[in-house]
Amino acid sequence: MVSSGSKEMLRSLPAVDELLRQEALIDAVQTYPRTLVVRAIRKVLDRNRQAILKGQLVLEQEEFDQVSLVNEILEELECLASFTLRRVVNGTGIIVHTNLGRSLLCQDALDRLQLIGSGYSNLEYDLAEGKRGSRYEHAEAILCEITGAEGALVVNNNAGAVVLALNTLAQGREVVVSRGQLVEIGGSFRIPDIMARSGARLREVGCTNRTHLNDYEKAIGPETALLLDVHASNYQIIGFTAEVGLREMVELGRRHGIPVMQDLGSGCFVDVTRFGLQGEPLVQDSVRSGVDVITFSGDKLLGGTQAGIILARKELIAELRQNPLTRALRVDKLTLAALEATLRLYRDEDAAIQAIPTLKMIATDLITLEDRARGLVEVLRANMPESIGVEIMDGSSMVGGGALPVQNLPTKLVAISSKDMSAARLEISFRGYVTPIIGRVEMELFLLDVRTLQPGDEEIIIAAANSIST
């Protein structure tokens, strides 16, 4: 039942037109589209109406204060007008952070995006012949040059690449996979499910911790279409373990006339052991092993845009291209533009490490990180009220993106604490800043890992810290 007081309040809610005559909202219409202003008004009125009906809103004089209503509308308007996909500061120390957009693009890639995105291009036009060409040729030559592969195909993402390859090679037939490699990647990519959707039948062999060559061999029969090796990128099985090497698998496949596919996940082109990271397979090594199909991501350790890259022999690439699924998984011109620019950098490994943000962040040494942390702490201390404490701490960064799950890179953290606020509260405030700052909370401290901070982030952190403490 609606009380008489509530009825009064409902009646006193101003009409949309009346609100539009308020000075602040007349101004707002100059800045924002009128439809958006009206939308904000309707939303706020509706919210208040609901609150009254639920008895959640009690006004002193049972009448609406138009000023506070207008302020609420302006807030709503700002919210409606803001982008949903926004730039954030990554202070987590996770370099290929799946939730924060994985890899950052190198400058060359950004330049190509601008150039190719703002003009027409020969995306599907053969300039030499003056007739229709194929988009799939653009990144192929450079991929073959870097990896030593005979052919290459780029699709929307690696999950798509795996589906396409399985569907093309094994639809209606069996794919042999080790039980230790039935991985789930975040975002509901699970090898058994992907296999089913691709129309192939999973034939599990071996045990979770140990799979031997004769496990594969025993499973091979008239139904076998493919042997699949999945790089277990986001977990590690340790202890009493056995895995079959890629070369042995390839040899077995050759003996039986069955192709071998490897889903590499990350797609690493440079040896990262020199940065203290062990065990990430190199794409070039996989190609050399003679495996028939290799798939990997464009935006994990490769450090480019989201893409799925398939390497294989020429005939197989031709077969993949003819699969109608390729059209459904088609790569965009902006992806190709950015990917080509990123790949070209790998012609000079040292240049690649300097220019590709993902690699550069992995390669940053502790002395540089300490300098950066000290610089940040200094400016923070100079610019912030005394209630905020700032210290440097030792910590560890992670590669992320499912790569090298158990290995950490030693790093420096800037630890922020407040006399007036819990660390959890600080975290919420930093996350709620106009440019959200994402860090982690440990030991009652809000921690920012300087390894994943980008040029310009320091200023944002200072501004956020100031807005929070005032």
Ligand X SMILES: *Cc1c(COP(=O)(O)O)cnc(C)c1O
Chain residues that interact with ligand X, rule: CB under 6 A: 157-159, 162, 183, 185, 189, 230-231, 233, 263, 265, 297, 308, 402
Shorter beta-carbon distance to ligand X: residue 189 or 433:
189
Question: Residue 12, exposed/middle/buried by CB under 10 A (0-12, 13-18, 19+)?
Answer: middle
Residue nearest to ligand X (CB): 265
Helices (DSSP H) in 275-332: which residue ranges? 283-288, 314-322, 324-328
- Cα within 13 Å of Cα(201), Cβ side: 8
Q: Is 28 left (phi over 0), alpha (psi -120 to 50) or beta?
A: alpha
Nearer to ligand X among residue 263 and residue 427 (C-beta): 263
Report the distance separating Cα 450 and Cα 441, nearest Å.
Answer: 15
Instruction: Tell me whether residue 41 or residue 161 sits nearer to ligand X (CB atom).
Output: 161
Nearer to ligand X, 399 or 460 (CB): 399
User: CB of residue 159 vs ligand X: minimum separation in angstroms?
Assistant: 3
Least separation in angstroms between CB 109 and ligand X: 17
* Long-range Cβ pairs for the range 215-219 (8 Å, 24+): 215/178, 215/244, 216/176, 216/178, 216/244, 216/249, 216/252, 217/252, 219/174, 219/176
Question: What Rg do the C-alpha atoms of the chain give, in angstroms?
Answer: 28
Residue 162 or residue 352: which is nearer to ligand X going by CB?
A: 162
Query: Which CB sits closer to ligand X, 90 or 266?
Result: 266
Q: How far is CA 445 from the centre of its chain?
A: 26
Q: Residue 308 or residue 439: which is nearer to ligand X going by CB?
A: 308
Q: Shortest Cβ distance from residue 301 to ligand X (Å)?
A: 10
Measure the CA dihedral 230/236/241/246, to 10°: 30
Using CA atoms, how far apart are residues 339 and 302, in angstroms rounded to an integer? 10
- Helix, strand, coil distribution of the chain in percent, nearest 5: 45, 20, 35
- With a CB cutoff of 8 Å and minimum separation 6, the contacts of 64 are 9, 12, 13, 14, 48
Does residue 103 contact residue 303 with C-beta atoms inside 8 Å? yes
Nearer CB in complex with ligand X: 102/203 = 102
Continuous segment of H or E residues that includes residue 76:
helix 66-81
Q: How far is the CB of 185 from ligand X (least distance, A)?
A: 4
Q: Which element (helix H / strand E) includes 394?
A: strand 388-400
Spatial distance between the Cα atoms of 80 and 68, rounded to a whole number of angstroms? 18
DSSP code for 238: -
The CB-of-400 to ligand X minimum distance in angstroms stands at 11
Quote the least distance from Cβ 162 to ligand X, whole Å: 6
Nearer to ligand X, 187 or 222 (CB): 187
Residue 236 beta carbon to ligand X: minimum distance, rounded to whole angstroms: 13
Residue number, 339 or 414, with CB nearest to ligand X: 339
User: How many Cα neighbours within 13 Å face the side chain of 121?
Assistant: 18
State in angstroms the smallest separation of the CB of 33 from ligand X. 36
Is the CB of 229 or the CB of 458 nearer to ligand X? 229
Do residues 416 and 59 touch, judged by C-beta distance below 8 A? no
